C-alpha cells in the first residue's frame, strides 16, 4: 500500500512539473452564426488544419454567435487590429471591399461547387481587391443558397407584394427585394428572431443552415425555395497584421484556409437535403415558386449596381461576360 501511494505521488509530481505547451500564435476569430452551424464548422476545420501544419505552434480561438459584436463591428475590429480575424457575410464585407459587391448579385452562380470553382480560379483578383482595402483574404466559405422564410406561404413572386422582408444591411439586397415587390427592411441578424416573432417583419431571406441553426422555423413556419443568392462568407485579417507574421505561419494560414474552404463548401452541399427533410418534421410548409420572374426582375441590378472598373472586371472574370 505504501509503495502504491509513493508511486502515485511521484506520478502526480511528474505531471504537474511538465509545462503545458501553448501555441505561439493564437488568432481570435469571430462570427455571428450559431456554434456548429456550417460556417463555424469551416472554422473548426481550419483550426485543426492550422494546428496540424504548424505542429501546434498556431491555432484559432473561435467566438461564434456574435459574442464579440455584430457583423459590422466584426469587420471594423479586424480593420482596427483589435480582432485578429473575422468571418462575415460577403454582404457586409462588400461595404468595405467594393469589388466584392459582385457576389451580392442575385442568381449569379447556379450551385455552390460552381461558385467555389470560380473563387479558386480567380483567387489572385480577389486577394488584390482585399489588399487594396487593407484586408488579407484567408478563405471563402459558403453560407449556402438563400431562400425565403415567412409567416405565410410564398407560392409566387406576387405573394411578396408589400411584405416586409428583412434583408442584410446591403444596398444590392435592398434593391433586389424592392424589385421583387417586397418592402425590404434592413436589420441586424441578431434582431431577426424577435422581429419575426413580434411581426415587425413578415419574413426574411436566408439559407437553410441559418433557418435551422437559429430555429427561425419557430417564428416563420413557411420556407420558399427561390435560391435568390449563393452567399459567401469570407474570412479576413488586417493586411498589416498578416504581413508581420513569419513566412511559415502565413503559408500555413493560407493553406489551412484554402483546404478548409473546399471542405466546408462541400459540407454545405451535403447538409442541404437533410436540413430540408428536418424542416418538415418541425411542421414547416415548403414551397417552390417559379424562379423565372425573380431572375427577370434581377437583371437591371447587373448594370445599376456594378459601377466601378474593379467590379466590372471581377464580374467579367467570374461570369465570362
DSSP per position, 236-250: EEEHHHHHTS-HHHH
Model pLDDT, residue 15? 38
Q: Which residue has the cell 411584405?
A: 163
Cα–Cα nearest to 219, from 239, 195, 183, 249: 195
pLDDT in tens, 211-247: 998 999 999 999 999 999 999 999 999 999 999 999 9
Model pLDDT, residue 23? 77
The pLDDT of residue 3 is above 60: no
Q: Give the class (CATH, top level) of 24-319.
A: alpha beta
The pLDDT of residue 12 is above 90: no
What sign results for the dihedral spanned by CA atoms 140, 92, 110, 105? negative
pLDDT in tens, 31-43: 999 899 999 999 9
> What percentage of the chain exceeds 70 in pLDDT?
93
Q: How far apart are CA 66 and CA 247, in angstroms?
A: 31
The pLDDT of residue 269 is above 70: yes
For range 245-269, the mean pLDDT = 98
More confident residue, 2 or 273: 273
pLDDT in tens, 147-156: 999 999 999 9
* 3-state DSSP helix/strand/coil % of the chain, to nearest 5: 50, 20, 30
State the CB neighbour count (10 A cutoff) for residue 219.
Answer: 17
Please say whether the beta carbons of 248 and 312 come within 8 A. Answer: no
Model pLDDT, residue 189? 86
Model pLDDT, residue 11? 42
* Phi-psi map region of 320: left, alpha, beta (phi>0 left; psi -120 to 50 alpha): left
The pLDDT of residue 9 is above 90: no
The pLDDT of residue 188 is above 90: no
The pLDDT of residue 316 is above 60: yes
Q: Which residue has the cell 471591399?
A: 97
Mean of per-residue pLDDT scores for the chain: 92
pLDDT in tens, 276-301: 999 989 999 999 999 999 999 999 99
Q: How far apart are CA 253 and CA 49, in angstroms?
A: 9
For range 262-269, the mean pLDDT = 97
The pLDDT of residue 69 is above 60: yes
The domain segmentation of the chain, as residue ranges, is: 24-319
Please say whether the beta carbons of 73 and 67 come within 8 A. Answer: no
Model pLDDT, residue 40? 97
More confident residue, 8 or 314: 314
For range 193-218, the mean pLDDT = 95
Model pLDDT, residue 20? 40
Please provide the distance, in angstroms rounded to a whole number, between the alpha carbons at the two ends of the chain.
82
Per mean pLDDT, which range of 21-25, 133-137, 287-291 is the poorest?
21-25
pLDDT in tens, 81-98: 999 999 999 999 999 999
Interacting residues of 49 by C-beta distance below 8 A, sequence separation 6+ = 255, 256, 259, 260
The pLDDT of residue 18 is above 80: no
Confidence band for 22, pLDDT divided at 50, 70 and 90: low
Model pLDDT, residue 190? 86
Cα 63 to the center of its chain, rounded Å? 14
Q: How far apart are CA 68 and CA 88, in angstroms?
A: 12
For 68, 84, 88, the CA distances from 65, given in Å and listed in that order, are 8, 17, 11
Interacting residues of 88 by C-beta distance below 8 A, sequence separation 6+ = 31, 32, 71, 74, 75, 233, 234
The pLDDT of residue 17 is above 50: no
Q: Which residue has the cell 434581377?
A: 298
DSSP 20: P
Model pLDDT, residue 320? 87
Model pLDDT, residue 51? 98
Q: Where are the alpha helices (DSSP H) in the chain?
A: 2-17, 38-54, 71-80, 90-93, 112-121, 123-132, 171-179, 192-198, 208-213, 239-243, 247-281, 292-298, 301-304, 309-319
- Classified as helix, coil or strand, 124 is helix
Amino acid at each position: 500500500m505504501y509503495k502504491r501511494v509513493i508511486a502515485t505521488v511521484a506520478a502526480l509530481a511528474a505531471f504537474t512539473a511538465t509545462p503545458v505547451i501553448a501555441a505561439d500564435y493564437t488568432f481570435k476569430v469571430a462570427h455571428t452564426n450559431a456554434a456548429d452551424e456550417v460556417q463555424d464548422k469551416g472554422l473548426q476545420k481550419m483550426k485543426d488544419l492550422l494546428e496540424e501544419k504548424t505542429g501546434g505552434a498556431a491555432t484559432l480561438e473561435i467566438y461564434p454567435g456574435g459574442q464579440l459584436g455584430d457583423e459590422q463591428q466584426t469587420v471594423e475590429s479586424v480593420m482596427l487590429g483589435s480582432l485578429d480575424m473575422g468571418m462575415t457575410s460577403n454582404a457586409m464585407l462588400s461595404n468595405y471591399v467594393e469589388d466584392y459587391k459582385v457576389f451580392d448579385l442575385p442568381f449569379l452562380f447556379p450551385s455552390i461547387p460552381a461558385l467555389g470553382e470560380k473563387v479558386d480560379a480567380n483567387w489572385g483578383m480577389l486577394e488584390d481587391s482585399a489588399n487594396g482595402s487593407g484586408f488579407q483574404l484567408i478563405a471563402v466559405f459558403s453560407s449556402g443558397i438563400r431562400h425565403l422564410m415567412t409567416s405565410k406561404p410564398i407560392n409566387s413572386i406576387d405573394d411578396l407584394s408589400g411584405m416586409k422582408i428583412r434583408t442584410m444591411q446591403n444596398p444590392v439586397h435592398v434593391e433586389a427585394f424592392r424589385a421583387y415587390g417586397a418592402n425590404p427592411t434592413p436589420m441586424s441578424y441578431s434582431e431577426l428572431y424577435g422581429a419575426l416573432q413580434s411581426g415587425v417583419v413578415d419574413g426574411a431571406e436566408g439559407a437553410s443552415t441559418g433557418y435551422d441553426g437559429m430555429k427561425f422555423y419557430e417564428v416563420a413556419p413557411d420556407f420558399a425555395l427561390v435560391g435568390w443568392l449563393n452567399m459567401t462568407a469570407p474570412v479576413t485579417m488586417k493586411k498589416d497584421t498578416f504581413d508581420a507574421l513569419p513566412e511559415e505561419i502565413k503559408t500555413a494560414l493560407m493553406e489551412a484556409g484554402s483546404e478548409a474552404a473546399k471542405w466546408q463548401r462541400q459540407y454545405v452541399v451535403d447538409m442541404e437535403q437533410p436540413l430540408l427533410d428536418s424542416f418538415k418534421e418541425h411542421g414547416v410548409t415548403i414551397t417552390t415558386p417559379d424562379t423565372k420572374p425573380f431572375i427577370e426582375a434581377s437583371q437591371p441590378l447587373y448594370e445599376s449596381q456594378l459601377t466601378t472598373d474593379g467590379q466590372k472586371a471581377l464580374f467579367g472574370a467570374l461570369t465570362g461576360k
